[in-house]
Amino acid sequence: MGLEPADERLAAILPRDVLREVTPAYLEEPRGRFHGQAGLVAAPRDAEEAAAVIRACARARVAVVPRGGGTGLVGGQIMAGGPAPLILSLERMNAIRAVFSDEAVMIAEAGATLQQARDAAAEAGRQFPLSLASQGTAQIGGVLSTNAG
């Protein structure tokens, strides 16, 4: 039994107000070298909604492509073939929850940008040592998951 496309059947069982319009920004890497597809784009507000989306996709046998800031240049945010997947965008999960200066610890949601993390560290009298040209759009979840920089 193979994968199914992300379509209106899946949309009907997803959390309310989580879907976004499928636009070209979700389907390309920055240089335009890789072009993907998606049946749906979901942007959960928190971990509970993200888990509900993943559970729904698992039950419906729909592929999930996680997407951060879309700044990767190797096409990891793109699924070019197969049944149209659901793109799971972390753009709404973007809070810096806490900064503990004495411990040099920051708690950030996966969709927070590298620039947000750098700014929060600076406000706390600390330095977030990673700097990338894409720091205004690169998201912490993607930066950490790919070991960027």
Segment 89-142, tens digit of pLDDT: 999 999 999 999 999 999 999 999 999 999 999 999 999 999 999 999 999 998
State pTM to two decimals: 0.89
Residue 84 pLDDT class (50, 70, 90 cuts): very high
CATH code 3.30.43.10 region(s) in the chain: 8-89
Token output for 67 = 């997407």
Which residues, other chains included, contact 45 with Cβ-Cβ below 8 Å and sequence gap of 6+? Answer: 18, 92, 93
Contacts of 30 (CB under 8 A, 6+ apart): 70, 71, 73, 134
pLDDT of the residue at 80? 82
Q: How many H-runs (helices) and E-runs (strands) does the chain carry?
A: 4, 6
Token readout for 41 is 């784009």
- What CATH number does domain 8-89 carry, 3.40.50.720, 3.30.43.10, 3.30.470.20, 1.20.1730.10? 3.30.43.10
Contacts for 55 with CB less than 8 Å, ≥ 6 apart = none
φ, ψ of residue 65 in degrees (nearest 5): -115, 110
Q: What is the mean pLDDT of residues 66-94?
A: 89
Rounded CA gap, 39 and 87, in Å?
A: 8
